[in-house]
Chain A
Amino acid sequence: MIPLGHIVILSMFVFCVGVYGVLTQRHAIRFLISVELILNAANINLIAFNKYLGTADGLGQIFALFIIAVAAAASVVGLILVIAVYRLKKSVFIDDFNLLKW
């Protein structure tokens, strides 16, 4: 088998790409894409640890399931917000999302 560390490194990389995206992207949908990457990186870790060091009740996988559900809910709401703001302000750039004024 592959050493666990390698999988974790992959997940770290994806995570950092996500962080990079979150920090630099101005486009709101891009931003959400990056968030998805971060969540997925977490999921990779969960599954990998579950496989290598997991308990018998499959906690890691169940947690990953929950994360997927949460991610789904988050992107549903996040995207509809983006669309709503876009329709209001004609912009998809986070800089323009001045939620206080909105």
Chain B
Amino acid sequence: MDITAIIQSLVEKFPGVIIDQSADRVTLTKEAVLPVFEFLKNGPAACVSLHGVTAVDRKETVEVVYHVHSFQHRVMLTVKVILPNDNLNVPSLTSLWGAADWMEREVFDLFGVRFEGHPDMRRILNPENWTGHPLRKDFQMDGVVPRPVK
């Protein structure tokens, strides 16, 4: 089963939730996150490893990016979920992967995306009494010296 087959199976299994797809990447609707990952992990794709969770701040939206990986088929699939800025909530994957715990905390810390159902949604890298999410493009803080030379 190669990557196209996996994406194909996804499209067949979950009609309507794949908003966008390319060679090794699919974009999902938010609601479908849990079932799709469940299927990816336990289904024929056997993407047993959650390789990474991250996000990209696209100004109006925030993309949450998941990399899942299958030892069996040797493929890495990128899954994206696009969240509007005013509702940065997405289901947590902690029920599926232990790895999701810290990774989601990191995304929360740096981007402010809240993962619903996460058991321990605290900051991880920055001090807990912080406000602001530093990797947002609009992040401002006193004491940050921008590099003078462009």
Q: Indicate yes or no for A touching B, C-beta below 8 A.
A: no
A interface residues, Cβ below 8 angstroms from B: none
B interface residues, Cβ below 8 angstroms from A: none
